[in-house]
């Protein structure tokens, strides 16, 4: 979104990532996967020229997509409210449509981050839930998540299982974004396995089978928390529940 030199540097970094990814794939350590990208700009900077900046981001992503194609890679734009032009579910869909490379440039859905899309934290005009929403109203939350996933699921090529307590967090110069919480956090707003199904199944309830790589995302915990065995027991238990409800066996 910056100068021409900034955008060239962005594409060059994608080229480097593709080369590293190819080496790992050749070694057998990475038989599949995607490379994550974002706009590298804040919503505040983006808002100085929304339409012009959106075009710049799309042009940059398209150029990066051509690099990825040359390396047989795919790029997944991470849906977080902290990235300008990607801070709203409507803007995220608009950006992907502008790039128009559905076989190469797609969406990375993280359940913790995409929950914030429904709240319109950095884009109140695109909120799917009202201010002071009563989180006990499960039906309205489900309706919002269905609308959100219906718009972004067709573009989604990477999926992160996660939990969120509907608060935001930022450290240092990093803009505020969705706050991950532990799988068993009593303040978590998501029914992890059930809401994971909104991403993993289509509107008719059929498995899309679009993701070969599904992981847990919980990047905001202390080292002390991450060193506890119970943390990983709870994470793996949540992942197994998702697999039990939405997994499948590949034919061999």
**Confidence at residue 252, expressed as pLDDT on a 0 to 100 scale:** 55
Listed residue (7, 103, 16) closest to 55, CA to CA? 7
**Confidence at residue 207, expressed as pLDDT on a 0 to 100 scale:** 95
Residue 132, in any domain of the structure? yes
Give the span between the Cα atoms of 50 and 76, in whole angstroms. Answer: 22
Residue 29, in any domain of the structure? yes
Residue 226, in any domain of the structure? yes
Which run of H or E residues covers position 77? strand 75-78
Q: Which residue has the tokens 């993280």?
A: 110
Residue 207: DSSP 8-state: B
Reading the block at residue 128, the tokens are: 């799917």
Please provide the size of the chain in residues. 252
| C-beta separation of 163 from 65 below 8 A | no
**Confidence at residue 218, expressed as pLDDT on a 0 to 100 scale:** 67
Residue 59, in any domain of the structure? yes
Residue 36, in any domain of the structure? yes
Residue 251, in any domain of the structure? no
| C-beta separation of 34 from 108 below 8 A | yes
**Confidence at residue 210, expressed as pLDDT on a 0 to 100 scale:** 87
Which run of H or E residues covers position 167? strand 164-169
Give the span between the Cα atoms of 141 and 172, in whole angstroms. Answer: 31
Listed residue (56, 121, 54) closest to 94, CA to CA? 54
Which backbone phi and psi does 52 adopt, to 5 degrees?
Answer: -65, -45
Q: Specify the number of domains making up the chain.
A: 1
Sequence-ordered list of residues with C-beta below 8 angstroms from that of 157, at least 6 positions apart, any chain: 34, 74, 76, 106, 107, 108, 210, 211
| C-beta separation of 217 from 160 below 8 A | yes
Angle ∠(140,115,183) on CA atoms, nearest 5: 105
Question: What are the mean pLDDT values of the chain's consecutive 10-residue runs (252 residues total)?
Answer: 90 96 90 89 94 97 97 94 95 98 96 94 95 95 98 96 84 62 94 97 93 77 90 95 89 58
3-state DSSP assignment of residue 205 = coil
Q: Which domain holds residue 48?
A: 4-246
Burial of 153 (0-12, 13-18, 19+ CB in 10 A): buried
CATH of the domain at 157: 3.20.20.150
Residue 252, in any domain of the structure? no
Q: Count of alpha carbons within 13 Å of 59, Cβ hemisphere only?
A: 13
**Confidence at residue 251, expressed as pLDDT on a 0 to 100 scale:** 60
**Confidence at residue 118, expressed as pLDDT on a 0 to 100 scale:** 96
Which CA distances in Å does 204 have to 89, 200, 207?
22, 11, 9
**Confidence at residue 211, expressed as pLDDT on a 0 to 100 scale:** 82
**Confidence at residue 8, expressed as pLDDT on a 0 to 100 scale:** 95
Q: 177 pairs with which residues across the strands? A: 169
């Amino acid at each position: 979104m910056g100068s021409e030199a900034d955008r060239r540097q962005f594409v060059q970094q994608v080229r480097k990532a593709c080369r590293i990814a190819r080496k790992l794939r050749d070694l057998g350590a990475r038989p599949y996967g995607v490379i994550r990208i974002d706009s590298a700009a804040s919503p505040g900077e983006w808002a100085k020229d929304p339409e012009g900046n959106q075009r710049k981001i799309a042009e940059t992503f398209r150029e990066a997509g051509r690099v990825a194609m040359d390396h047989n890679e795919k790029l997944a734009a991470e849906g977080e409210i902290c990235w300008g032009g990607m801070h709203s579910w409507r803007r995220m869909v608009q950006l992907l449509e502008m790039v128009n490379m559905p076989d190469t440039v797609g969406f990375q859905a993280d359940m913790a981050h995409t929950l914030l899309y429904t709240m319109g934290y950095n884009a109140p005009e695109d909120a799917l839930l009202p201010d002071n929403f009563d989180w006990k109203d499960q039906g309205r939350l489900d309706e919002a998540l269905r609308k959100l996933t219906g718009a972004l699921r067709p573009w989604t090529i990477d999926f992160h299982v996660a939990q969120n307590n509907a608060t935001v967090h930022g450290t240092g110069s990093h803009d505020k974004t969705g706050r991950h919480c532990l799988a068993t956090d009593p303040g978590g707003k998501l029914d992890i396995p059930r809401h994971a199904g909104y991403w993993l199944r289509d509107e008719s309830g059929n498995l899309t089978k679009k993701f070969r790589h599904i992981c847990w995302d919980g990047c905001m915990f202390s080292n002390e928390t991450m060193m506890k065995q119970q943390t990983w027991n709870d994470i793996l238990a949540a992942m197994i529940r998702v697999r039990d409800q939405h997994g499948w066996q590949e034919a061999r």
